Amino acid sequence: MGDRQPERYFPRGAVVAETLRLMAVHAHPDDESSKGAASMAKYVAEGVEVLVVSCTGGERGDVLNPRLKENASLLRDMGEYRRHEMAEAARILGVQHRWLGYVDSGLPEGDPLPPLPAGCFALTPTEFTVDALVHVVREFRPHVMTTYDESGGYPHPDHIMTHVVSRAAFDDAADPAKFPRAGEPWKTSKLYYHAGFSRERMRTFHEALLAQGKESPFAEWMKRFEEQDANPDAAKRAELEITTRVECGEFFETRDRALLAHATQIDPDGWFFGVPLELQRELWPTEDYHLAISHVPTRTPEDDLFAGLRDGA
């Protein structure tokens, strides 16, 4: 798996009919390693072709690793560092990778929020961004796409825009009247949204760690959940229904190595790594998804993103 070239593509017409293909569309480099990475590694090991699309280069990311905060060159060349980090993460996961080519919008902070920077992904007209993703869909011809739901998973403008662009490209890639210069139409069979950061999962780990007399990295999460539940007027996002649980515990270590490859973005002592792998495998050995659209017959709950596609894909 480590010998796989992360930016190798199958040209149109070269993929044999029985090869299953998965495309994961993300906002920034590192998102692919924190959302669905273990299931992608599992599918790669099974012979599935997996392509990660990063909509932006993550150029406006902060240095989140305390061990690197004093390295001034990181801030000067953040985009270049993140390209190298993404290449290493793709190598670890065994996936192919494509940059969609747009500029990180940054996460606005303050009251009132400052305007987004000109030319960023979130402000680029969708006629261009959807066109770009439709080109990739029609080239790679995935059977399954994964992305974020309408909330983006959290309110980063690039995550929300990634949903908008992915959802439109899923439909438009199949329509010969849309973007006729983007290649031959391709109808992707299934679209999933990530549902990995569920309350149930966080609470399960939190309670298990406390029961073992250990400190839980999810205490603040539990506090926020309680505050939301105590305030019926608070604006809360309805939690996604988990329709599909992909068992992939044996690939959690691969997931963590890929995530640590994004050294500028990940604190190796942070909450992502606060639950021992064996406890994760025991209590929650799956990565979870919400089936948003299926053009093939399937029944939920599922245990496979390719349910309904294994025969005659």
Tokens of 289: 């998804």
Is residue 145 domain-shared with residue 39, that is, in the same domain?
Answer: yes
Is residue 173 domain-shared with residue 211, that is, in the same domain?
Answer: no
CATH number at residue 36: 3.40.50.10320
Is residue 62 domain-shared with residue 189, that is, in the same domain?
Answer: yes
CA distance 272 to 214: 16
Residues in the chain: 313
CA distance 96 to 253: 19
Pick the closest to residue 270 from 201, 203, 217 (CA basis). 217
Mean pLDDT, residues 186-206: 96
Is residue 59 domain-shared with residue 25, that is, in the same domain?
Answer: yes
Is residue 152 domain-shared with residue 173, that is, in the same domain?
Answer: yes
pLDDT tens-place string over residues 23-62: 999 999 999 999 999 999 999 999 999 999 999 999 998 8
Q: Quick check: is 258 in a domain?
A: no
Instruction: Judge whether residue 71 has pLDDT over 90.
Output: no
**24-28, 167-171, 215-219: segment of lowest average pLDDT:** 215-219
Give the model's pLDDT for residue 16: 41
Is residue 48 domain-shared with residue 144, that is, in the same domain?
Answer: yes
Q: Quick check: is 102 in a domain?
A: yes
Please give the helix or strand (H or E) that residue 252 lies within, else none.
Answer: helix 252-261
Is residue 192 domain-shared with residue 203, that is, in the same domain?
Answer: no
Mean pLDDT, residues 145-160: 95
Is residue 187 domain-shared with residue 207, that is, in the same domain?
Answer: no
Helix 252-261, helix 78-93: angle, nearest 10: 160
CA distance 144 to 236: 29
Q: Quick check: is 205 in a domain?
A: yes
pLDDT tens-place string over residues 72-115: 677 678 999 999 999 999 999 999 999 999 999 999 988 888 99
Is residue 31 domain-shared with residue 43, that is, in the same domain?
Answer: yes
Give the model's pLDDT for residue 228: 79
Is residue 170 domain-shared with residue 234, that is, in the same domain?
Answer: no
Split at pLDDT 50, 70, 90, the class of 142 is very high
Q: Is 311 labelled a binding residue?
A: no
Give the model's pLDDT for residue 225: 86
Range of the domain at 210: 199-238
Please give the helix or strand (H or E) that residue 286 lies within, else none.
Answer: strand 286-294
The greatest distance separating any two alpha carbons of the chain, rounded to the nearest whole angstrom, comes to 61
Q: Is 84 labelled a binding residue?
A: no
Q: What number of other Cβ atoms are within 10 A of residue 251's Cβ?
A: 22
CA distance 244 to 215: 30
Instruction: Judge whether residue 7 has pLDDT over 70.
Output: no
Q: How many domains does the chain have?
A: 2
Tokens of 113: 């929020």
Q: Quick check: is 88 in a domain?
A: yes
Tokens of 297: 């017959």
Give the model's pLDDT for residue 233: 58
Is residue 209 domain-shared with residue 156, that is, in the same domain?
Answer: no
Q: Quick check: is 110 in a domain?
A: yes
Q: Is 97 labelled a binding residue?
A: no
